[in-house]
A and B are shown apart, each in its own frame.
Chain A
């Protein structure tokens, strides 16, 4: 693969930095306890000092034999005051006085949460993201690591979340892969007769996304502590096949989730459809504003490929340029083509189509919706974005069916 000059320069920079790495280990492999670097030890000592100084009310979740993990006061002599793994704290002297008699929660001591889809299940460890003790609160300001597990879920099944202990509250949020800042609406409901199980459902097939679960736990005695524990997972759509994905913009979804209607609007408005040109009957889908008001067909329009050429799998979207401009003739709009099967014979259209795209940071939103999906645009493509994914339609032109 050809690399740009910047990529070449970056490679050289990385090599020069890597050359600064130690060429040989400074300690034998067999040493472990007590062998952590002095830097790490300093960090741990700093943590201990910080805890002592701020007198934060601290708690520990003990992962014992029981499946009930409640916040309990720790024994200051045994639990390392550290946010790193227990093994890292084994060699850490723990003789600091602990004024509250409780300890910082460590992530390796939290029982794992379980995700279950059908008969498959995955577990993931949690981290404490915030906690409040008797005197003050502390916010770790960190997202859970979503690198593991990679759960397979396509939204057709219910995703069961099983907490390892009773929780005060639970929250589940998701966002499309790679952190695009649109929160995904998933429904979370308690499972009847299963107090630690929660059913997560979606209204549509899911794309790759990050899933976060937050649970709140509390204890009143012997000290009052509230903590939030965060768990993460990454979702891989099960049986993922780009060609088999149902359209993001499913008309049945649009019909069921939006009150699509003609709205009263001034004559110059894009919503004034009384005198719009003919063609609405041929639209592949109704285009609306965020409230479900129909948009004129000369402002945004879309149609499927010609039946007699068997090109129905393709779809062409045309948007007046600039956005909200009424198109009068050719050249007044920009065309975007959804041609996953390549029926138009243009490989750039197939290559440019991405049913699980990432919205570029340069893309701009438009006021146009189809169902719950909003149209975003950049110079190269249109992006249809809903809570479960982003579909990229490259700019281009369809072939003529003769």
Chain B
């Protein structure tokens, strides 16, 4: 398998890295896992980006779903993992802990709506569900977060 990215891709990678890894960090809670996710998505999508209307949006969706896949894979080894914690103030650790308790879909819905600030229709497209389901995911996530953060 040829894993070398097309010429110029490294520049695109560096340019889009920061906003994508922020989303991935909120999805995974781990800077290393976030970078892994963004890195893997770029490698996988490298040869598709040229023909896209909106590569950043496409990559963002791919990163969110990659993080969800990571969660699925990690959940099978959860008893074995010892993840280093992000060095953050206590309040923000509390935020990450609260996010960690959400299901991956609820977490993604919250991150996309309140951090990325995209419309429910777009969130639905990314998550592969209906907008009504997004509203429900967000509502339930907010209930969980409100409980965890009060």
Contact = CB atoms under 8 A, between A and B. Distances in A.
Contact of A177 (B35, B77, B79, B129): B129
B62 to A, nearest CB: 12
A234 B127 CA distance: 11
B17 to A, nearest CB: 5
Interface stretch (A26-34, A261-269, A277-285, A324-332): A26-34
Interface in B18-44: 18, 21-26, 30-36, 38-39, 42-43
B39 A27 contact: yes
A25 B105 CA distance: 26
A39 B80 contact: no
A382 to B, nearest CB: 18
Grouping DSSP codes into helix (H, G, I), strand (E, B) and loop, the B interface class, with mixed when no group exceeds half, is: helix
B25 A25 contact: no
A84 B43 CA distance: 17
B31 A22 contact: yes
Contact of A21 (B21, B95, B130, B136): B21
Contact of A18 (B77, B115, B130): B115
Nearest to A147: B128
Contacts of B137: 178
Contacts of B42: 29
A17 B136 contact: no
Contacts of A313: none
A178 B9 CA distance: 38
Contact of A30 (B5, B75, B88): B5
B112 to A, nearest CB: 11
Interface in B33-81: 33-36, 38-39, 42-43, 46, 65, 68-69, 72-77, 79-81
A15 B3 contact: no
Given A14-B95, A20-B86, A83-B77, A33 B35 contact: no
B57 to A, nearest CB: 18
Contact of A39 (B33, B43, B87, B95): B33
A145 interface: yes
A238 B21 CA distance: 36
A10 B109 CA distance: 13
Contacts of A179: 103
A380 to B, nearest CB: 13
A21 B105 contact: no
A13 B149 CA distance: 11
Given A83-B77, A85-B73, A145-B68, A29 B21 contact: no
A43 interface: yes
A28 B14 CA distance: 9
B129 A17 contact: no
11 contacts: A13-B91, A17-B86, A20-B86, A21-B18, A21-B21, A24-B17, A29-B42, A32-B3, A39-B84, A83-B76, A178-B140
Given A17-B92, A356-B130, 10 more contacts: A7-B142, A10-B114, A17-B86, A20-B87, A25-B21, A25-B38, A27-B39, A30-B10, A37-B33, A85-B73
Interface of B: 3-5, 9-10, 13-14, 17-18, 21-26, 30-36, 38-39, 42-43, 46, 65, 68-69, 72-77, 79-84, 86-88, 91-92, 95-96, 103, 105, 110-111, 114-115, 127-130, 132-133, 136-137, 140, 142-143, 145-146, 149
